[in-house]
Amino acid sequence: MLITELTSLNHKLVKDLRIALKDFEPMVKNPQFLWNGREIKNFSLRPREAWANWLICAVLRKMHGREITFMEDDAGDGFIVDKDLKLAFQTEHVSALDVPKGRRLPGGEQRIIDAINLKIERGDDYAREKLLVVFFDGAGQFFRSKVRESIFGKHNFEAVFCVGLLDSGASGYSYSVTEFRDSFGDQSVTHKVEVNGDFTDWQITQIMQ
């Protein structure tokens, strides 16, 4: 089972999101680590995968008011862990970044849709009970309603999360985190995660779009 009872897994778990945030500071501030970084030392995820999982967990905690974190995964791209429900959800990540240098991806929602379709093409068995995470930049303005319309009813993932860089600078970093679930009817939910410049705190607000 990919959605499994937490007690049946034996992987390293991130116990404190605030401490982990500080650990991410050098990786995020030097995007080469997010673009090309190998697995983190003593933690079997790539920096991009771990950072996206951190952002998703911060948002899910805000949405549901439960203790949600993530753990490593030697066979995949990490687990999102709901400690209150004692469940772990395996993630599958796909990149839609402007790297390697010279890579040409479309702008807007098509950049996100194309990345999702790459994973949909792997089939229902591949997607079953997993959370798909799209990590992107360079999309510019995009409409989440168009992403939702394009993928609705066409995949077998438990949910699709799209994590995108909004802004970066000395004062901090901001990302959008959007969750798509077919069971939500016509809705999708986007939050903005703002991390301060010294990576000691963050704020989360819902984006109405």
In the chain, where the domains are located: 3-207
pLDDT score, position 186:
52
pLDDT score, position 161:
96
Higher per-residue confidence, 59 vs 102 = 59
d(CA 61, CA 70): 12
Cα-only R_g, the chain: 16
* Average pLDDT, integer, range 150-159: 92
How many percent of the chain have pLDDT more than 70? 89
* Average pLDDT, integer, range 62-80: 91
Global pTM value: 0.90
d(CA 89, CA 159): 10
